């Protein structure tokens, strides 16, 4: 994923920019570059394909000191990874830009700018921004004012920063769909796409909001909102302990990571949504071409990631109308599979290093077209520099940040978000998704972080419910439709960290066997959103109550379910049915967490388990 760093100071800032880029390396990238106004006030740059260390070596061989500069790590979306496509991009020798996100109308703008005499030196969408700004400067010579005008013509998503040799006292920046944060120093100020990049220089931050334009000078920062009104954004002081590798105020990493879900889901969405649709280019430069040819999908993953894939199968078939198969990687890798023509191979993994998942990908890639090979491979992964990402044709990174607790939580919900983006992108490219439903789901995705926050606010209620489990040895989890894999994930969480035996069943299967297990010592946990399967689910729950089983039901507030003898109902905020699997995961995570705490187990490092399973 692309990263931005910028600085305006009285000192030489080259090292600050390079260090900032290094701190963003974990997100994955294919090239890096830096542009500064040098001692003579001229714009100069260095760009390299590969690691930031290669850019650093280039800067050592040919130093580029300066006091105003911008830097970038690029993850290719338009144009292959190459030095000419790496940012910063220039317009003449006056203007430089770095950009995260995707400009959708770049083709039209490119034609327009070419007719005005601009020539392009890259294949990127980004280059249109810098020429457009240069053209705007002809009628509006102030850089900040010109940026305000120019961004109005950009469609898509962007977080961008610009420097100009003509106004060397500032960086100007704009945010729409891709995050930017200003770091405040003493007599110097900074900019980045993630505050992590600036921790070495400041602990005071100001987050830009959607539509904001900022002018960052050494002694002053000015911000205008989407309506052009001057605004002040709150200053936030970073406290030690907000770090991923620190539990902060939380008792366990797992609880901290559960509570991080609204923000990491937000991050996973950023830069990938236009007004009413998903930006297909977010999956990589060849995504639109590849997706247009896909007729089938094969998903492969392990554990929690496998459960995410199971949810995605419901979505892909129901919303995008595309046939989808899913299998655990440890089985798939040793099986002779029959590959349907034009099948996209999708692997899902938090770490990107899971041995079985990697082996399955490698086997899939080894198949020749005569053996019925796959069309292409796509990795949904949380680690940008992992083997899975390096070896796949397309990637969509989940941006959950480092997950320390062994039991996966925020990785799962961000995988679900990524898979919903895949579903919407597939439906769009294939023309199988109703545009109105597409727009509705995009709007719901935007509201999702707030909904997750509401579910997390039920923490104390779920903690109380957990008391029903501390003396129990077995539990049943039930769900129907896309909530069945959510029930599976809830059962996996409970067994992993509390060591209580937990099984998940599609609720309709109850009467075909597991009902025999139900008695007063076997609590039954159910997820019950308000969908067309609700009435059937209610009948299944009656079957449990009739056998004396205790029910714990997480139900939509509009589902009309209430507490009664042996039935404990926890009301959930209402949500669009398609996104319910993401929301209903939250109380199940909290439940397993509080049961484990009551039982006194090692929540973050449960016995016999490892975070990354890199061996068979
Ligand atoms: C469960 C859990 C595991 C992993 C599985 C795959 O909480 O974390 O089941 O999901 O080992 O790992 P990744 O996603 O790294 O491939």
Place of tokens 């950023």: 270
Q: Report the DSSP beta bridge partners of residue 525.
A: 477, 552
* Percent above pLDDT 70 for the chain: 98
CA of 425 to the centre of ligand 1 (A): 25
Question: In the chain, what are the helix, strand and coil shares in percent, each to the nearest 5?
Answer: 40, 25, 40
pLDDT tens figures, 144-155: 999 999 999 999
As given in the structure block, the two tokens for residue 471 are: 């003396």
Q: Reply yes or no on whether the pLDDT at 506 is more than 60.
A: yes
Structure confidence at residue 240 as a pLDDT band (50, 70, 90): low
User: Pick the catalytic residue: 148, 495, 538, 611?
Assistant: 611
- With a 6 Å cutoff on the Cβ, whether 350 touches ligand 1 is yes
Which of the four pLDDT bands, split at 50, 70 and 90, describes residue 546? confident
Q: CB–CB of 527/541 below 8 Å?
A: no
Note the pLDDT of residue 327.
Answer: 98
- Tell which atom from ligand 1 comes closest to the C-alpha of 493: 7
In short, whether 349's Cβ falls inside 6 Å of ligand 1 is yes
Query: What is the pLDDT, as a whole number, of residue 505?
Result: 95
Query: In this model, does residue 608 exceed pLDDT 90?
Result: no
* Closest CA relative to residue 541, chosen from 533, 532, 553, 531: 553
611 is catalytic: yes
Is the distance from the beta carbon of residue 354 to the nearest atom of ligand 1 less than 6 Å? yes
Q: What is the pLDDT of residue 614?
A: 64
Pick the residue whose CA is nearest to atom 7 on ligand 1. Answer: 407
pLDDT in tens, 575-590: 999 999 999 999 999 9
Question: Does residue 332 register a pLDDT over 90?
Answer: yes
605 alpha carbon, distance to own chain's centre: 25
310 pLDDT more than 80? yes
Place of tokens 């770490």: 351
Which DSSP letter does residue 579 get?
Answer: G
Q: Which two tokens stand for residue 486?
A: 């959510």
Mean pLDDT of 553-570: 86
In whole angstroms, give the CA distance from residue 200 to residue 19.
8
Q: Cα–Cα distances in Å, from 471 out to 188, 197, 515, 523?
A: 59, 47, 21, 11
Q: Which atom of ligand 1 is nearest to the CA of 407?
A: 7
User: Rounded to whole angstroms, how far apart are CA atoms 343 and 346?
Assistant: 9
Q: Is the pLDDT reported for residue 435 higher than 70?
A: yes
What pLDDT score does 537 carry? 78
Ligand 1 pocket mutation, candidates 592, 611, 613, criterion most atoms within 8 A of CB: 613
- Count of other CB atoms within 10 angstroms of residue 532: 9
Q: What does the alpha-carbon distance between residue 549 and residue 572 come to, in Å, rounded to a whole number?
A: 22
pTM: 0.83
| pLDDT for residue 487 | 97
Ligand 1 touching residue 266 (CB < 6 A)? no
Atom of ligand 1 nearest to the CA of 411: 14
Q: Are 378 and 393 in contact (CB under 8 A)?
A: yes
415 lines ligand 1 (CB under 6 A): no
Which residue from 553, 473, 479, 484 is spatially nearest to 517, judged by alpha carbons? 473
Mean pLDDT, to the nearest integer, of 273-279?
93
302 is catalytic: no
Of 408, 416, 491, 593, the residue with max ligand 1 atoms within 8 A of its CB, to mutate for a pocket test, comes to: 408
Which pLDDT tens digit goes with each residue over 444-485?
Answer: 999 999 999 999 999 999 999 999 887 889 999 999 999 999
The answer to whether 479 and 581 have CB atoms below 8 angstroms apart is: no
Contact 198, 7 (CB under 8 A): no
What's the pLDDT tens digit per position in 436-446? 999 999 999 99
* Mean pLDDT, range 397-414, rounded to an integer: 94
Q: Would you tell me how many other CB atoms lie within 10 Å of the CB of residue 570?
A: 18
Per DSSP, the residues of 130-174 read HHHHHHHHTT--SHHHHHHHHGGG--EEEEEEEEESSSTTEEEEE
Cβ(351) – ligand 1 distance below 6 Å:
yes
Going by C-alpha positions, the residue among 593, 599, 562 that lies closest to residue 462 is 593
The answer, yes or no, to whether the previous bond of 88 is cis (omega within 30 of 0) is yes
The whole-angstrom separation of Cα 479 and Cα 504 is 8
Q: Is 94 in the pocket of ligand 1 (CB under 6 A)?
A: no
Q: Would the pLDDT of 172 be above 70?
A: yes
Q: Domains in the chain, ordered, with CATH?
A: 2-237 (3.60.20.10), 253-599 (3.40.50.10490)
Q: Is the dihedral of CA 381, 384, 386, 387 positive or negative?
A: positive
């Amino acid at each position: 994923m692309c990263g931005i760093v910028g600085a305006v100071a009285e000192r030489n800032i080259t090292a600050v920019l390079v260090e900032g880029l290094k701190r963003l390396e974990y997100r994955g990238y294919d090239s890096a570059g830096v542009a500064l106004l040098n001692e003579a006030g001229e714009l100069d740059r260095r760009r390299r394909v590969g690691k930031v260390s290669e850019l650093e070596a280039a800067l050592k061989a040919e130093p580029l000191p300066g006091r105003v500069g911008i830097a970038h790590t690029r993850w290719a979306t338009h144009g292959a990874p190459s030095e000419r496509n790496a940012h910063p991009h220039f317009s003449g020798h006056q203007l430089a830009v770095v950009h995260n996100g995707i400009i959708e109308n770049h083709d039209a703008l490119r034609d327009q700018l070419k007719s005005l005499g601009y020539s392009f030196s890259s294949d990127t969408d980004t280059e249109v921004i810098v020429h457009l700004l240069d053209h705007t400067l002809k009628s509006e010579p102030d850089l900040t004012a010109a940026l305000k005008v120019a961004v109005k013509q950009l469609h898509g998503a962007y977080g961008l920063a610009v420097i100009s040799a003509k106004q060397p006292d500032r960086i100007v920046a704009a945010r729409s769909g891709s995050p930017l944060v200003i770091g405040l120093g003493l007599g110097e100020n900074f900019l980045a796409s993630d505050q992590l990049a600036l921790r070495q220089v400041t602990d005071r931050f100001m987050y830009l909001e959607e539509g904001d334009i900022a002018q960052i000078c050494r002694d002053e920062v000015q911000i205008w909102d989407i309506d052009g009104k001057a605004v002040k954004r709150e200053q936030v002081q970073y406290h030690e302990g907000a770090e991923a590798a620190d539990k902060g105020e939380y008792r366990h990493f797992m609880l901290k990571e559960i509570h991080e879900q609204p923000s990491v889901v937000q991050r996973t969405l950023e830069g990938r949504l236009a007004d009413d649709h998903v930006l297909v280019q977010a999956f990589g430069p060849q995504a639109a071409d590849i997706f247009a040819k896909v007729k089938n999908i094969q998903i492969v993953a392990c554990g929690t990631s496998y459960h995410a894939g199971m949810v995605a199968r419901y979505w892909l078939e129901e919303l995008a109308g595309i046939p989808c198969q899913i299998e655990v990687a440890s089985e798939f890798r040793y099986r002779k599979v029959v590959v349907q023509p034009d099948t996209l191979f999708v692997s899902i993994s938090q770490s990107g290093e899971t041995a079985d998942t990697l082996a399955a990908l490698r086997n899939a890639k080894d198949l020749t077209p005569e053996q019925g090979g796959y069309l292409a491979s796509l990795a949904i992964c949380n680690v940008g520099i992992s083997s899975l990402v390096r070896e796949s044709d397309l990637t969509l990174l989940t941006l959950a940040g480092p997950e320390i607790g062994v039991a996966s939580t925020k990785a799962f919900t961000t995988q679900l978000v990524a898979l919903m983006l895949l579903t919407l992108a597939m439906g769009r490219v294939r023309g199988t998704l109703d545009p109105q439903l597409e727009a509705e789901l995009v709007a719901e995705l935007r509201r999702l972080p707030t909904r997750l926050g509401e579910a997390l606010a039920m923490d104390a209620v779920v903690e109380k419910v957990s008391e029903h489990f501390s003396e129990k040895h077995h539990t049943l989890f039930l769900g129907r439709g896309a909530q069945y894999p959510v029930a599976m994930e809830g059962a996996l969480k409970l067994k992993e960290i509390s060591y209580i035996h937990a099984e998940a069943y599609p609720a309709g299967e109850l009467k075909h066997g597991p009902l025999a297990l139900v008695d007063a010592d076997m609590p039954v946990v159910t997820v019950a959103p308000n969908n067309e399967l609700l009435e059937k689910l209610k009948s299944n729950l009656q079957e449990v109550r009739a056998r004396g089983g205790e029910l714990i039901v997480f139900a939509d507030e509009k589902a009309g379910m209430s507490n009664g003898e042996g039935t404990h109902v926890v009301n959930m905020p209402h949500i669009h049915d398609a996104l319910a699997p993401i929301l209903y995961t939250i109380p199940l995570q909290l439940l397993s967490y509080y049961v484990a705490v009551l039982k006194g187990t090692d929540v973050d490092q449960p016995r016999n388990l490892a975070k990354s399973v890199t061996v068979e």
